[in-house]
Amino acid sequence: MNAYAPAMRHAPQALASDQIRVMVVDDAVVVRSLLSRWIEETPDLKLVAALRNGREAVEQLDRTRPDVVVLDIEMPELDGISTLPKLLERRRDLVVIMASALTRDHAEVTLKALSLGAADYIPKPTNEGGVMTSAAFQRDLIAKIQALGHRRRLQGRPLPPRYARRSEYAATRKLGSAVQRAVKWQTVEDDGAHPGLKLRPYSVMPPRVLLIGASTGGPQALTKLVAHLDTVIDSAPVLITQHMPPTFTTILAEHLGRAGAKPVREAADGEPVLAGTIYLAPGGKHMTVARRDGTAVIVLDDGPPVHFCKPAVDPLFSSAAEVWGSWNLALILTGMGTDGTDGAAAIVKAGGTIIAQDEASSVVWGMPGSAALAGVCSAVLPLDQIAPKVTRMFLGARP
């Protein structure tokens, strides 16, 4: 099942001890009731409180003991951004998902919430009627609660060696034929630190283009990464696909631009891809590349979602494999689902290199875990080791 697929409505009830305890905080009674019903209908989730403002959430936190809090931004008495630090001060391991409207103001507040410790966000439809009729909103909300809640439960439990097992967050869908071929090409070498993980050799060509794909936890990871890539950006273009809706990508580009010393902007259709700039896929469009009159250019695609996402990582990676071949170095950062794995396989087939973020530093090890377990990666690294590694590769150092 894809990591974004909705839960089975009529599955047997999970044991109470295995259920993820969820608190919903929203001042709109219709929204609060609807989210509560969806949670109660999902076997591995347990609704422990449905509250109308942040003050009630703080007061009832110790009594209800939630694993996950779905927290609205605009509420009377105590709003979401004011409630967030109070909750995390009481429970540092609490998973908070911000519920945000698709407005510039809410996008700004949401990115601030992520920097303050919120685990993720969920864009709300523009009105209560949209919340009631949006199957995508229901699917994404439940999937985020499940993935983040289960990760919180697993933290602190004794686990077998990382990568020696299939990650709970790596999707179990049948891999595409390109990925199956990539698995056959994998080396039998281990990296030593991760028993059972088979890594590929690095490309023999020094990279000239940096591609990055991310989803859940991506804004936080990208902010840290971009701040340390100035040397790379001077000599190469950087193209990023982050799963995000319109408006949010505009604000993210501004935040990333402030995090580093180089310009970051939403990509425009037809513009040339040049060194010295970071191109971010705009929300609601797939960003791909093509070669026109000998020049690599951005192509924005308004086609259907891929892996339920638009923008998606696979279209960028696959098109880059065709345009730049062995010059590509692609990073797959934290995120739910399997987006990026098929595109990574295409890059590897064309002679490029893939690096994935490791499980311990990922908010959710879905996308990077899927690529790692498919055998298309040359390295699986903690987030703080990725920028130094990438910089050395672009400077010509041997991996």
pLDDT category, 172, cuts 50, 70, 90?
Answer: very low
Residue 335 — left, alpha, or beta (φ > 0 → left; ψ -120 to 50 → alpha)? Answer: left
Q: For residue 321, give the H/E element and its range.
A: helix 313-324
Specify the pLDDT at position 181: 36
Residue 166 — left, alpha, or beta (φ > 0 → left; ψ -120 to 50 → alpha)? Answer: beta
Tokens describing residue 174: 């049948």
Q: For residue 394, give the H/E element and its range.
A: helix 383-394
Write down all domains in the chain, each with its CATH number in brackets: 16-154 (3.40.50.2300), 177-394 (3.40.50.180)
Specify the pLDDT at position 262: 85
Contact 361, 387 (CB under 8 A): no
Global pTM value: 0.86
CB contact set of 333 (below 8 Å; sequence gap of 6+): 212, 213, 214, 217, 218, 221, 222, 225, 356, 357, 362, 367, 368, 383
Residue 246: cis peptide before it, omega within 30 degrees of 0: no
Judge whether residue 164 has pLDDT over 90.
no
Specify the pLDDT at position 183: 34
Torsion, Cα of 244, 246, 248, 254 (10° steps) = 110
State the catalytic residues. Answer: 215, 243, 339
> How many angstroms separate the CA atoms of 310 and 305, rounded?
5
Residue 62 — left, alpha, or beta (φ > 0 → left; ψ -120 to 50 → alpha)? Answer: alpha
pLDDT in tens, 192-243: 445 568 899 999 999 999 999 999 999 999 999 999 999 999 999 999 999 9
pLDDT in tens, 10-32: 445 555 668 999 999 999 999 99
Judge whether residue 82 has pLDDT over 60.
yes
pLDDT category, 174, cuts 50, 70, 90?
Answer: very low
Counting every residue written for the chain, the total comes to 399
pLDDT in tens, 230-240: 999 999 999 99
**Beta 20-25 vs 68-72: how paired, if at all?**
parallel
Contact 332, 323 (CB under 8 A): no
Specify the pLDDT at position 323: 98
Can you tell me the mean pLDDT for 29-42?
Answer: 94
pLDDT category, 133, cuts 50, 70, 90?
Answer: low
Judge whether residue 248 has pLDDT over 50.
yes
